[in-house]
Amino acid sequence: MMDREKEAVLATERYGSRERWRYRERGGEMEREREGGEGERAGSFVKVFTSVFLPQGYPESVSEDYLRYQMWDTLQAFSSSLTGTLSTQATLRGVGVGSTEASVAAATVTWILRDGTGMLGRILFAWVKGSKLDCDAKKWRLFADVLNDVAIFMEIVAPAFPACFTLIVCSAGVFKSLVGVAGGATRAALTVHQARRDNMADVSAKDGSQETLVNLAGLLVSLLLIPLVTDSTVLTFALYFLFTCLHLYANYQAVRSVVMETLNQARLSILTDQYLRDGRVLSLAAANHREPVLPDFRRRVQIRLGVRLGDIVSRWVPQKVEPLRTAPLSFNSHSFIYYTGLWFLPREVCVCLSTEATPQDEIQASFHSHLLSSLLLDTGSNGSNGPLTGEQRDQWRHTVRAAGQGEGLWALLSETHCFVDRTFPDFLTALQNAGWQTGRTLLDWDEWRVNWEPVPLKKIL
């Protein structure tokens, strides 16, 4: 034993964090041994399985939440595969498979109409909501799977309504096309998050391999289920509801397990509120855990980022154009914030952005917008440990209630902007120290940008 310890180690090598080897010189020859004393054949099946279905370099090459997300995603894919089999059987029965009275032409027309309406739905949905999918990938990912379950349910019940069968199936086809757009786009967004070595293609390919394996397992189980449910409507619906509940639960857990480092509106709102309350920036896990993934029907102030200056000017009272002219200098030539507080109109905060604005400027403008939003809604805790004191918040809330839509609101904008100018550098540093990415954002900015012309000093004085 002592002789072995005295033998010189010529080299060491490792394969990620999974294998470590030492090379020693013994009797004039090089000897290779594995650290930990395990044989080379130990765990060979696990090694093959991981190399086939996990990205190269796992776990270092992916995000920390990768395994947990993929486990829940695998479970939801298996459940979806089984409910999909039930819907396929119902659709085939509805178009006349197995019936002597069915027409091949009628079945073909139904199928073409189903696919055609789905294609149109895919184009329209991508046009209307395509830019929103990156900003709220978790919410849209869950939305896609819920809509998929609704479409499957429609296909299962369609044969019970022969007169409306084509309409129901075409509607389900539209829903499934929306699922394809939202699910595929959000999957790509999550792949960007999970890939940590510029290995998006590898992560995406291995995700496809995992899904294929799960679908294959689903097909094998479906072969056992089909004979049981062919003539049993009750069993068909019982299995549908069972697997749908499992599918929805697994999807909810999957999106909740994702820990994103980039800032979107929901996460920045959570971080802003917490920081103003007690001066603390939440960790990545804590903020992501609070991020809503279900629809929120609470009363909110609409925040519009990157709006067109013409939209603001069209609402502007001509006698009050001077504050608009001085706004670029007041707002560091990067953003201009305007908001309404009318009693009979939805309240909103609008932000115009300069062409020279950086991602940090975008975060600062959004930080200011969320502060105004909390004041307009009269929400937020009067914390004493944060940069915003309870007395200052109460003073601004009183201004909002008393001023309406007049000069008082401009005073409020000026005061809150000075506060943000003092507070934001510390907030940005705290974000970076907590691990948040500030070099890029997922804030829902529109593409309008403004080139502010310099305002002569004599026009301001």
Facing residues of 432 across strands? none
Q: At 210, is the pLDDT very low, low, confident or very high (cuts 50, 70, 90)?
A: very high
Q: What pLDDT, on the 0 to 100 scale, is given for residue 78? A: 94
The mean of the pLDDT values for the chain is 80
Q: Hey, where are the domains in the chain?
A: 2-51, 66-257, 265-460
CB 98 within 8 A of CB 90: no
- 205 vs 201: CA distance, rounded Å: 6
Listed range (217-226, 228-237, 372-381, 437-446) with the worst mean pLDDT: 372-381
- What's the pTM? 0.82
CB 354 within 8 A of CB 450: yes
Superfamily of domain 66-257: MFS general substrate transporter like domains (1.20.1250.20)
Which string of DSSP letters, residue by residue, matches 96-141?
A: TTT-TT--HHHHHHHHHHHHHHHHHHHHHHHHHHGGGTTTTHHHHH
Q: At 438, is the pLDDT very low, low, confident or very high (cuts 50, 70, 90)?
A: very high
Listed range (7-16, 309-318, 334-343) with the worst mean pLDDT: 334-343
- Indicate if the pLDDT at residue 348 is higher than 70: yes
Q: At 408, is the pLDDT very low, low, confident or very high (cuts 50, 70, 90)?
A: low
- 74 vs 253: CA distance, rounded Å: 12
Residue (of 236, 260, 194, 253) closest to 74 by Cα position: 253
